């Protein structure tokens, strides 16, 4: 009986709540309609007031202002007759006044239409304007008389016209004042209307909110009553560690989910969420298959399904869940109980152990790869040094050849020193012993030195290079370590040049991006159009021994230390480095370095009052003008010619007149007559006294001997900077080096006489060394740049055309191993027996085994020992015969 009474009471309470809720809803709708109606009426009234303000006072003010303007123009035109009052001038003024009166009719009409003041104001203005027109006509007649003087005309104007002009202007001003007063009045009316609307809106909204809160309070009481019994079961579910979900076995509808499901695992099936939300399609398919199998043969108590699931939460977090399914027979229908356990930490612990092992293996592999690359990188310049030394020794009688060998030995020595320095720098960084210097330096000289180095590299690879500097004055002196800054720039610039294909571009931008007390943040940005990098490659590019991918070292070379050293140097300087790159679209490296501003100013070099005069010769006008401007800054007068013949003629003319030039700057590569030929003709014309400096954007080493033979005293790389130009000119003016003479080469024994060899080597210097050494020993040599060209040359040759193939291993396009395999597998008659000898800087046991496995007959490591190479060649050739 008590239970039945409690049920009836609850039904009465629910019915009462529904009635109150309906009444509240009707009230809310009525008040909202009232609010809408009030808003519409107020908006219409505001719109009317706004129209009055915009169409009447403003138009009247504008039109009255136009009347004043036309009166001023009339007065200006009549006063013009005070000086010139001939018949023609009078007629011209009359026509202009007629035009102004015609134009004046429009603003007068607008005033009559829209003016809200008294009509007598507009009538007074029109009457005054009529008087003005009558007096103007009388004035024109008076001025046109022949016997009137300027003073009489001025007196007439001051007596009859000027007062009327002033009266008409005052009346127009009165119209403006009345219109302004009307505008203010309408504005006040609109303000009162807006205030009334606002108060009414606030009251209505307050009433709506009150009704809404009241209805919500009633609804909340009903919800509390209905939720009471559910809390008892929910309290039980909270005490269980594993979360669980109960579903209808046939429909899959969720009947219950434990409250700890969301708290522990971040899962919830409330609100009709999908029962398999966040699971993979494969996992869902397996679960459904297990449920269908249970319908055919229902188990009791045993686990229906068990699996570790890879789950993604709605926010993207990854979790590992152990799922167990049980089937139980309910009162109305069978049910599936899903028990979920979070095993994420357990799985992550196991994965951490595997990752640690993989990281250790990768580090070991990276160091092994690094050692292999270092062996290759170090042996490459060593091979050049030893080979060129051998060639120089054999060419002792040929001074030019010896000089060429020594230059290349010097280049290779510097390259070797750079490699060693990289390794030492990395060692210092890892042992925390890297230190920085602090000394004053000029930012322009720093960039000049870097550009002079990288410009030649870019031009040598057929790249366009450009640089810009922003935010600095004529000089920017900072305190820092210029050597390490230059190292950073060279690492970035060399990478940009190395990884950009011919025809691309490299850009350097140096700018001052921020200024603090006594310091600036200087940004160095290097942008290229090269191969680019993926996001994953960018993330690991700063790791020691790493490059963007495994093929980079084989294709472009390098130790993989440069960017790691750069990153650490930037960090030591308190700066930041950012890389923005996309595969196939190039890379931008930005380095921000904070630098303290230096107080002292470096002395700007110039040639003072020596009165030097220079001739600049370049086929590009812009280069001539820029060079001339640069020379004038260091106080050298200039003339320039765009033709070598014109320059020679002008220099000869100056010599014959006794006003010789003190200096000549001539470009190397010019159409028609290059810089070397220009130098020869200048020497024939004026002798050896004129210092000549050759300018070039290319590597000058290949023609340096010929240029000095022709009479060049010095060389200057493009682009030109003030300091480098000053230094080169100072050295050229102070003294010149003499020409280099050739000497005949001496003969050597020729153990390879009669052999014709195919040499595949991508490094041009190493290829030259190999070819020269082999020719010195009597062989005929054909050189190619990569494995693909070697295969093509061999397949196109007749049987017996080559006695052996010397094959480098690390080459672009196609490496030596692949080339050897393709030769062996080809249909060429000599494919199976021609000796193929690996000549590579990879000298470890695994490298030798890989060469033999690819089908090569022997392995000779670099640096090349010509005696060993000859011996191996002869042995292989004799076995083949």
In order, the DSSP letters of 98-109 are HHHHHHHHHHHH
More confident residue, 76 or 809: 809
Q: What are phi and psi of 603, to 5 degrees?
A: -65, 130
Q: In angstroms, rounded to a whole number, what is the distance separating the alpha carbons of residues 307 and 321?
A: 8
Nearest 10 degrees: CA dihedral of 307, 310, 312, 317? 120
Task: For residue range 8-64, list pLDDT tens digits in order.
Answer: 344 455 555 566 667 767 776 777 777 667 667 666 665 555 655 555 677 777 877
Distance from the Cα of residue 784 to its chain's centroid: 38
Task: Return left, alpha or beta for 781; rule: phi > 0 is left, psi -120 to 50 is alpha, else beta.
Answer: beta
pLDDT at 833: 92
Poorest-confidence range of 183-187, 227-231, 581-585, 847-851? 227-231
Chain centroid to CA 385: how far? Answer: 40
CATH number of 756-880: 3.40.50.2300
Long-range pairs for 278-284 at CB < 8 Å and ≥24 separation? 278/311, 278/312, 278/313, 278/314, 279/309, 279/311, 280/309, 280/310, 283/307, 283/309, 283/310
pLDDT at residue 717 is higher than 90:
no
- DSSP collapsed to 3 states, 395-408: CCCCHHHHHHHHHH
DSSP notation for 339-391: EEEE-HHHHHHHHHHHHHHHHHHHHHHHHHHHHHHHHHHHHHHHHHHHHHHHH
User: What pLDDT, on a 0 to 100 scale, did the predictor assign at position 77?
Assistant: 79
Q: Which of 279-283, 633-637, 814-818 has the lowest mean pLDDT?
A: 279-283
How distant, in Å, are the alpha carbons of 213, 542, 566, 802 from that of 581?
57, 14, 17, 46
**CA separation (Å) from 272 to 99, 238, 247, 276, 329?**
82, 21, 12, 11, 23
Closest by Cα among 490, 444, 494 to 469: 444
d(CA 808, CA 815): 8
Per the structure block, which two tokens stand in for 281? 């399609």
The answer to whether the beta carbons of residues 769 and 381 sit under 8 Å apart is: no
> Of the given ranges (169-178, 510-519, 666-675, 778-787), which has the lowest mean pLDDT?
169-178
Name the DSSP class of 158. Answer: I
Asked whether the domain spanning 613-734 has the same topology as the one spanning 243-342, the reply is no
Candidate ranges 268-277, 358-367, 429-438, 534-543; pick with highest mean pLDDT: 534-543
The reported pLDDT for the residue numbered 805 is 96
- The chain-wide mean pLDDT, for the chain, equals 78
Least confident range from 53-67, 381-395, 690-704, 738-752: namely: 738-752
Top-ranked range on mean pLDDT: pick from 60-64, 130-134, 567-571: 567-571
Q: Would you give the end-to-end CA distance of the chain in angstroms?
A: 120
For the residues 391-405, what does the mean pLDDT come to? 80
Secondary structure E strands in 551-619: 576-582, 586-597, 613-617
CA angle 103, 105, 110 (to 5 degrees): 120
Q: What is the pLDDT of residue 870?
A: 92
Other Cβ atoms less than 10 A from the Cβ of 416: the count is 18
**CATH code of domain 435-597:** 3.30.565.10
Determine the pLDDT at residue 11.
46
Residue 825 has what pLDDT?
94
What's residue 617's pLDDT?
A: 95
Both structure tokens of 574: 């308190």
Residue pLDDT, tens place only, 513-560 = 888 778 899 999 999 999 998 888 888 787 765 554 444 544 555 556
Class of the domain covering 613-734: alpha beta
What is the Cα–Cα distance from 556 to 558, expressed in whole angstroms?
7
CATH number of this structure's domain 243-342: 3.30.450.20
Residue 431 and residue 474 in contact, taking contact as beta carbons nearer than 8 Å: no
Taking the domains of the chain in order of start, what are their residue ranges? 1-239, 243-342, 435-597, 613-734, 756-880
Largest distance between two CA atoms of the chain:
139
Over range 139-155, report the average pLDDT.
Answer: 79
Whole-structure pTM value = 0.43
Burial per residue of 279-306, b for 16 or more beta-carbon CB atoms within 10 angstroms, e otherwise: beeebeebbeebbeebeeeeeeeeebbe
pLDDT digits (tens, 9 = 90+) for 188-205: 666 776 677 667 677 767
Of 7-11, 112-116, 411-415, 421-425, the poorest mean pLDDT is in 7-11
Give the contacts of 573 (CB within 8 A, at least 6 positions apart): 436, 480, 481, 484, 485, 593, 594
Who wins on pLDDT, 767 or 334?
767
Beta carbons within 10 angstroms of residue 73's beta carbon: 16
Residue 850, token pair as written in the block: 């890989």
Q: What is the pLDDT of residue 282?
A: 78
């Amino acid at each position: 009986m008590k239970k039945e009474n409690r049920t009836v009471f609850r039904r009465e309470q629910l019915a009462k709540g529904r009635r109150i809720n309906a009444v509240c809803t009707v009230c809310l709708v009525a008040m909202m309609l009232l609010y809408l109606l009030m808003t519409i009426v107020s908006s219409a009234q505001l719109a009317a007031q706004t129209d009055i303000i915009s169409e009447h006072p403003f138009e009247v003010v504008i039109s009255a202002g136009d009347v004043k303007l036309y009166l001023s123009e009339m007065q200006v035109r009549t006063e013009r007759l005070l000086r010139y009052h001939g018949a023609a001038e009078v007629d011209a003024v009359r026509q202009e006044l007629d035009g102004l009166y015609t134009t004046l009719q429009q603003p007068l009409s607008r005033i009559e239409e829209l003016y809200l003041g008294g009509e007598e104001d507009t009538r007074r203005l029109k009457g005054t304007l009529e008087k003005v027109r009558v007096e103007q006509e009388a004035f024109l007649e008076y001025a046109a008389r022949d016997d009137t003087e300027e003073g009489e005309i001025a007196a007439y104007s001051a007596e009859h016209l000027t007062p009327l002009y002033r009266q008409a202007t005052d009346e127009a001003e009165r119209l403006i004042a009345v219109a302004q007063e009307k505008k203010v009045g309408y504005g006040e009316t609109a303000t009162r209307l807006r205030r009334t609307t606002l108060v009414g809106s606030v009251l209505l909204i307050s009433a709506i909110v009150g009704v809404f809160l009241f209805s919500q309070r009633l609804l909340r009481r009903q919800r509390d009553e209905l939720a009471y019994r559910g809390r008892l079961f929910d309290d039980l579910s909270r005490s269980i560690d594993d979360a669980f979900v109960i579903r209808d076995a046939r429909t899959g509808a969720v009947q219950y989910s434990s409250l700890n499901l969301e708290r522990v695992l971040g899962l919830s099936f409330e609100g009709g969420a999908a029962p398999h939300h966040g699971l993979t399609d494969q996992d869902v398919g397996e679960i459904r298959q297990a449920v269908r199998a249970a319908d055919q043969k229902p188990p009791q108590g045993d686990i229906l399904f068990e699996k570790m699931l890879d789950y993604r939460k709605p926010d993207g977090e990854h979790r590992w869940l152990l799922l167990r399914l049980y089937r139980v027979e309910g009162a109305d229908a069978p049910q599936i109980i899903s028990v979920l356990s979070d095993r994420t930490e357990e799985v992550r612990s196991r994965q951490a152990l595997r990752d640690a092992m993989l990281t250790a293996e990768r580090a070991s592999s990276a160091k092994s790869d690094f050692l292999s690359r270092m062996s290759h990188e170090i042996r490459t310049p060593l091979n050049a040094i030893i080979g060129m030394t051998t060639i120089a020794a054999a060419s002792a009688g040929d001074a030019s050849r010896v000089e060429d060998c020594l230059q290349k030995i010097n280049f290779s020595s510097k390259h070797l020193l750079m490699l060693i320095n990289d390794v030492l720098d990395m060692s210092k960084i890892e042992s925390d012993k890297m230190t920085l210097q602090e000394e004053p330096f000029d930012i322009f000289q720093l960039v000049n030195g870097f550009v002079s180095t990288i410009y030649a590299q870019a031009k040598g690879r057929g790249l366009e290079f450009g640089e810009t500097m922003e935010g600095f004055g004529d000089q920017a002196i900072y305190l820092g370590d210029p050597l390490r800054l230059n190292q950073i720039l060279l690492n970035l610039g060399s990478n940009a040049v190395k990884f950009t294909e011919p025809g691309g571009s490299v850009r350097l931008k140096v700018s001052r991006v921020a200024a603090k007390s006594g310091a600036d943040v200087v940004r160095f940005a290097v942008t290229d159009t090269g191969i680019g990098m993926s996001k994953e490659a960018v993330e690991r590019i700063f790791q020691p021994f790493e490059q963007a991918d495994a093929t980079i070292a084989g294709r472009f070379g390098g130790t993989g230390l440069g960017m790691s050293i750069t990153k650490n140097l930037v960090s030591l300087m308190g700066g930041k480095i950012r890389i923005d790159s996309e595969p196939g679209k190039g890379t931008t490296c930005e380095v921000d370095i904070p630098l303290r501003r230096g107080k002292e100013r470096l002395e700007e070099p110039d040639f003072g009052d020596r009165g030097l005069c220079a001739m600049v010769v370049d086929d590009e006008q812009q280069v001539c003008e820029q060079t001339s401007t640069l020379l004038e800054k260091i106080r050298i007068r200039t003339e320039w010619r765009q033709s070598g013949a014109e320059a020679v003629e002008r220099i000869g003319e100056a010599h014959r007149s006794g006003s010789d030039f003190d200096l000549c700057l001539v470009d190397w590569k010019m159409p028609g007559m290059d810089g070397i030929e220009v130098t020869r003709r200048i020497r024939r014309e004026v002798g050896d006294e004129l210092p000549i400096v050759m300018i070039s954007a290319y590597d000058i080493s290949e023609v340096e001997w010929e240029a000095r033979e022709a009479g060049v005293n010095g060389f200057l790389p493009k682009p030109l900077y003030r300091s480098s130009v000053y230094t080169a000119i100072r050295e050229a003016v102070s003294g010149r080096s003499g020409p280099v003479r050739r000497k005949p080469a001496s003969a050597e024994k020729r153990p390879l006489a009669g052999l014709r060899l195919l040499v595949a080597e991508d490094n041009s210097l190493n290829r030259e060394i190999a070819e020269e050494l082999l020719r010195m020993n009597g062989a005929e040599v054909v050189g190619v740049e990569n494995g693909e060209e070697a295969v093509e040359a061999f397949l196109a040759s007749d049987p017996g055309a080559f006695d052996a193939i010397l094959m480098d291993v690390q080459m672009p396009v196609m490496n030596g191993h692949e080339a050897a395999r393709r030769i062996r597998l080809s249909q060429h008659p000599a494919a199976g027996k021609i000796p193929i000898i690996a000549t590579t800087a990879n000298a470890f046991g695994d490298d030798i085994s890989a060469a033999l496995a690819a089908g090569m007959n022997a392995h000779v490591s670099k640096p090349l020992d010509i005696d060993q190479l000859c011996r191996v060649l002869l042995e292989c050739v004799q076995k083949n015969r």
